[in-house]
Chain A
């Protein structure tokens, strides 16, 4: 009984589709349009073709921003994927109190990201911060985590890892629990070692989850903004200036909305490229394995 129900469907869909179109779809497409204009706040927008992109290509700050975004990606995504997988495998064991541990591990993800930034500012504080106190106790000198160009990006990366590790762990845990017990029992009968089981059963079966976790984490890291704004605001110098930071500054501090839109377009392109590359690498590994 296949009936066409489009009339009732329209009624059900209408509120969502209207809001979705106005506040999400149109802006997503409109960004490309705005990027072809010299669009300052107050002044009349003027069509300038691809000039914004030409200027971007010659803007050294923009290259710094791309470099920093990629640096955040390299410093956080692999650590997050590996550490959260290991943690998930631990919590997949029969350990007493593992529910409590699961609950605790997601707390960082639930907290307001900008406030997480302030919490860590205090921990990283040059003079009275907890971290420097313990480093000193172990015999090291104080590290100027957020005010030294060499450390700021690492310091923020640690916070990113702290925030997302529990979230990624839950995704892996769900994946691990989806692997049927019989598979492991069969391997045991065949006399497989722990390492063999991990490399030849767990990892291949977990592949879709791993790809998904990497993709989600990648999206989360590329769009990183709140913590950076609160912790370093892109500094010191330009050492933590990311593409999103630069977009924000261009559009809402310098009021170059067209220029900012061009950066947004590049952010989206970079995101798509990274996702594609990551998935390619993942799929190639499966073939060679």
Chain B
């Protein structure tokens, strides 16, 4: 199958166009956020700002409890991710390596929840969280996020692949199950743990529906919710300031982009593996 000569340039053209489609909205957001409001709402729009200013960013930080929101977001995402790492790693390890009755059924009843989105159980969750006094608290945002299923799926698949011999040898040497897990299995699990870390951190950082329902108090909100309520459709009117809105957006996505670029190898592997074996 020899390729005609014109086909490579065509491929490049399509791929480059696709990449522009993905990246230009982001670039445009950043550029716009750096313009003064009078330049933003002007015609024609220009890709090169006549005047670069950080005034929109200053407005966001001075007039809104932005750092509080960001701290809330960080606490929820970091603690939630740590919680998932501890709870899911242990559970997935047990489901993959220990022999006990009902193991398969238990695993399958957890995994089937992959198909049940938060949107389908958020009302009972709200009622329960209310009973447990978890509404308007950060714990109330963290705990439901720890009941994460994707991590079980990824880690279970990983632990199953580890060779049996490692475990047997350690057992003959008299190591207990916990030591085998802690000193032999975990040190081998770097890639799988990195994958889970990045996937769950981003999922927690981006979480929207539950934080919006569970928290009504302004200073307890996370960034996605606070931003959407100040600058989303519910608040659009004639005097809407896009400059501040876009500045708030840029600062909120920065942490995700940093984590993504730092760990993107594992991110791609994570998406691929969370799919393939499913």
Contact = CB atoms under 8 A, between A and B. Distances in A.
Interface of A: 2-6, 8-9, 12-13, 15-17, 19-20, 22-28, 30-31, 33-34, 39, 87, 90-91, 93, 95, 98, 101-108, 110-115, 117-123, 125, 127-130, 133, 146, 162, 165-167, 170-171, 173-175, 178, 188, 192-194, 197, 209, 212-213, 216, 219, 222-223, 225-226, 229-233, 235, 244, 247-248, 251-252, 257, 260-261, 264-265, 267-268, 271-272, 275
Nearest to B246: A122
B11 A93 contact: yes
Interface in B86-132: 86-88, 90-91, 93-95, 98-101, 103, 106, 109-110, 113, 115-128
B186 interface: no
6 contacts: A13-B106, A16-B91, A23-B146, A27-B128, A108-B22, A225-B119
A23 B125 contact: yes
B242 interface: yes
Given A110-B256, A115-B227, A197-B1, A24 B113 contact: yes
Interface stretch (B48-56, B63-71, B187-195, B267-275): B267-275
Contact of A23 (B94, B100, B143): B143
A23 B23 contact: no
A115 B147 contact: no
A171 B271 contact: yes
Given A25-B113, A174-B276, A113 B87 contact: no
Contacts of A117: 228, 232
B28 A123 contact: yes
Interface string B222-249: 0111011001111010000010011001
Given A106-B268, A115-B224, A225-B208, A216 B275 contact: yes
Nearest to B12: A95
Contacts of A102: 268
Given A104-B19, A107-B23, A120-B25, A257 B127 contact: yes
Top 7 closest A-B pairs, CB basis?
A: A16-B91, A174-B272, A12-B94, A30-B124, A6-B100, A230-B232, A27-B124
A233 B233 contact: yes
Interface of chain A, helix or strand or loop or mixed? helix
B181 to A, nearest CB: 8
A263 B11 CA distance: 46
A132 to B, nearest CB: 9
Interface string B11-35: 1101100110111011011001000
Nearest to B132: A22
A133 B110 contact: no
Contacts of A165: 22
B115 to A, nearest CB: 6
B6 interface: no
B232 A229 contact: yes
B278 interface: yes
Given A27-B125, A115-B253, A95 B11 contact: yes
Contact of A212 (B43, B86, B209, B278): B278
A8 to B, nearest CB: 5
B162 interface: no
A275 B234 CA distance: 33
Contact of A27 (B93, B121, B146): B121
A120 to B, nearest CB: 7
Contacts of A39: 127
A4 B208 CA distance: 42
Nearest to A213: B275
B195 to A, nearest CB: 13
Given A24-B147, A93-B11, A166 B120 contact: no
B40 A128 contact: yes
Nearest to B130: A41
A112 B252 contact: yes
A39 B124 CA distance: 11
A257 B28 contact: no
Contacts of A121: 232-233, 236
